[in-house]
Amino acid sequence: MSVRHIRIGWVLIDEDKHTQNGNKVLKPAIQEKLEAAVLEIFSEADFHQANIRTVARKAGVSFSTIYSYYGSKEGLVFAVVDVWLGKLTERIVDHLQGIEDLKEKLRKVFWLQLDYYEKNPGLGKILFMTLPMKTWMADRTFRQKKMINLFLEVLRQGQKEGILNPNVRAGVLLDFMLGFVQRSFFMWVSRGQKGSLAAQANATFEMVWRGISRPG
Separation between Cα atoms, residue 55 and residue 156, nearest integer Å:
42
Average pLDDT for consecutive 10-residue bins of the chain (216 residues)?
Answer: 37 41 70 96 95 95 93 96 97 96 97 98 97 95 96 97 97 97 96 95 96 94
Q: What is the 3-state secondary structure (H, E, C) of the chain?
A: CEEEEEEECCEEEEEEEEEECCEEECCHHHHHHHHHHHHHHHHHCCCCCCCHHHHHHHHCCCHHHHHHHHCCHHHHHHHHHHHHHHHHHHHHHHHHCCCCCHHHHHHHHHHHHHHHHHHCHHHHHHHHHHCCHHHHHCCHHHCCHHHHHHHHHHHHHHHHCCCECCCCCHHHHHHHHHHHHHHHHHHHHHCCCCCCCHHHHHHHHHHHHHHHECCC
pLDDT value, residue 186: 94
pLDDT value, residue 27: 86
CATH topology of domain 75-212: Tetracycline Repressor; domain 2 (1.10.357)
Q: Which residues contact 163 (CB under 8 A, 6 or more apart)?
A: 102, 103, 213, 214
pLDDT value, residue 78: 97
Strand partners for 11: 8
Separation between Cα atoms, residue 76 and residue 72, nearest integer Å:
6
pLDDT value, residue 24: 61
Is the domain spanning 2-71 CATH 1.10.10.60? The answer is yes
Helix 73-96 × helix 28-44 angle, to 10°: 100
pLDDT value, residue 26: 81
pLDDT value, residue 81: 97
Distances (CA, A) of 4 to 46, 49, 60, 70, 215: 33, 31, 14, 19, 64
Task: Break the chain into its structural domains and give their ranges.
Answer: 2-71, 75-212
pLDDT value, residue 14: 42
